[in-house]
Amino acid sequence: MKINKNYQKLEDSYLFSTIAKKVSEYSKANPDKNIIRLGIGDVTLPLSKTVVKAMQDAVAEMGQKETFRGYGPEQGYDFLREAVQKYYQSRNTKVEIEEIFISDGAKSDVGNILDLFDKDNTVLVPDPVYPVYVDTNTMAGRKIIYAEANESNGFLPMPDKSQKVDIIYICSPNNPTGAVYNKEQLKEWVDYALENEAVILYDAAYECFITDKNLPRSIYEIEGAKKCAIEFCSLSKTAGFTGTRCGYTIVPDDLVVDGIHLRKMWLRRQTTKFNGVPYIVQRGAQAVFSEEAQEEIKQAIDYYRENAKVIADTMDAKGIWYTGGKHSPYIWLKCPNGMDSWEFFDKLLNEIQVVGTPGAGFGKNGKNFFRLTSFGDKAKTKEAMERFSKLF
């Protein structure tokens, strides 16, 4: 019996546990201080009324013999797949029902999709980025190459045509940097993938934060993408579903490798290893796409956007370099005075009692950067930025 030794190669993630430890020690030593947390990547506003009502109705259905439902289709109920299809249609992007797979969130699918690919593929992952891409490939023993994201490319790395890779991760709007690719830039990635017969894994978990109509919210807005890209999306940040759990993955029918349709492979994988998202949750997710809920959800997203603006305005006023803040809930700032990200973390905690996330936790290129998030309370975000302004 042999275990998967690749797990030994995973770097222990001390990021959030170290933050929690430092904050708890500080608050024990300074019980009178009011700590403001701008580090969280979780939402704080509740589900919309329309979504809650839809789930309550579904609970009632489940309690009646006539309307009770057992196992559903592994790839999701058609009522929800149709709602997702219409959501894409409203942005002039065509996806077929069979290409839409309902999931329990983007994190699971981003990891699970790797079942479709050979272990010997080379993977390109931006640095810094959402750590799940690196860890899931490390677990599978794949070779990882990093696309360097830094100040000089605005944290939006472009393809290196001299390099041959097989799987490409793109996250736009990006976590942690908040940077967003435009259509021309994404076109370069699509062209590169087509030329190299690579597959793009496109994480659109934060698409709802994009307000500029010229910026792409789906990779399928780019010509040729249906032949080379899989898209992951989530209701977590769009509709406050981080605890409710629902997302969707699009595997286009045109995506064919060695004569094999990846959509069919994914269907086979899902019907074998997944038994679907709860009916009650799928009814709530369907309601997310209704006109009433879209209006309610917009208010929540606007609330977070205003917080992001308060933070971004403060950085502008202080002349601090940053990305994000406009089409993203994240502000990724360059630590002032050449500080490294943990030094900066300690300074903010000790001097103004504001907690953020050190960029070092997202990759080596995050060493001198810091992530602040807009998912907190409005009054507290303002207060944090007033303290920040006085400090710098």
Contacts to ligand PLP by CB under 6 A = 41, 105-107, 130, 171, 175, 203, 205, 234, 236, 242, 247
CB of residue 179 to ligand PLP, shortest distance in Å: 12
d(CA 224, CA 17): 42
b/e map 155-188, b = 16+ CB within 10 Å: bbbebeeeeebbbbbbbbbbbbbbbbbeeebbbe
- In the complex with ligand PLP, the residue whose CB is nearer, 235 or 385, is 235
Cβ nearer to ligand PLP, comparing 85 with 103: 103
The nearest distance, CB 107 to ligand PLP, in angstroms, is 3
- 100-112 burial, b for 16+ CB within 10 Å, e for fewer? bbbbbbbbbbbbb
Q: β-pairing, 247-250 with 229-234? A: antiparallel
Nearer to ligand PLP, 110 or 348 (CB): 110
State in angstroms the smallest separation of the CB of 234 from ligand PLP. 3
For ligand PLP, the closer of residues 107 and 217 by Cβ is 107
Q: Which is nearer to ligand PLP, 136 or 175 (CB)?
A: 175
Q: How far apart are CA 334 and CA 328, in angstroms?
A: 17
CB of 246 to ligand PLP, least distance (A): 8
Residue 206: CB minimum distance to ligand PLP, A: 7
The CA distance from 159 to 186, in Å, is 10
Collapsed DSSP state (helix, strand, coil) of residue 367: coil
Give whichever of 107 and 326 is closer to ligand PLP, judged by the CB atom: 107
Report the residue number, 41 or 73, with the smaller CB distance to ligand PLP: 41
User: Which residues are CB-contacts of 250 (< 8 A; sequence separation ≥ 6)?
Assistant: 95, 99, 100, 101, 220, 230, 231, 233
Residue 249's DSSP bridge partners are 101, 232
Q: Where are the beta strands (DSSP E) in the chain?
A: 36-37, 100-103, 122-127, 143-148, 167-171, 199-203, 229-234, 247-250, 256-257, 260-261, 322-324, 330-334, 354-355, 357-358, 369-373
Q: Rounded distance, CA 268 to CA 105, Å?
A: 19
Given the complex with ligand PLP, which of 93 and 236 has the nearer CB atom? 236
Q: How far apart are CA 148 and CA 162, in angstroms?
A: 15
Q: Shortest distance, CB of residue 54 to ligand PLP, whole angstroms?
A: 19
Q: Which of 382, 384, 332 is nearest to 154 (CA)?
A: 332
> How long a stretch of residues is the chain?
392
Nearest distance from C-beta of residue 164 to ligand PLP, angstroms: 26
Identify the CA nearest to 334 among candidates 389, 372, 304, 307. 372
Q: Which CB atom, from 106 or from 219, has the smaller least distance to ligand PLP?
A: 106
Q: In angstroms, what is the minimal distance from the CB of 277 to ligand PLP?
A: 11
> CA–CA separation, 22 vs 94, rounded Å?
48
What is the closest distance, in whole angstroms, from the C-beta atom of residue 101 to ligand PLP in the complex?
13
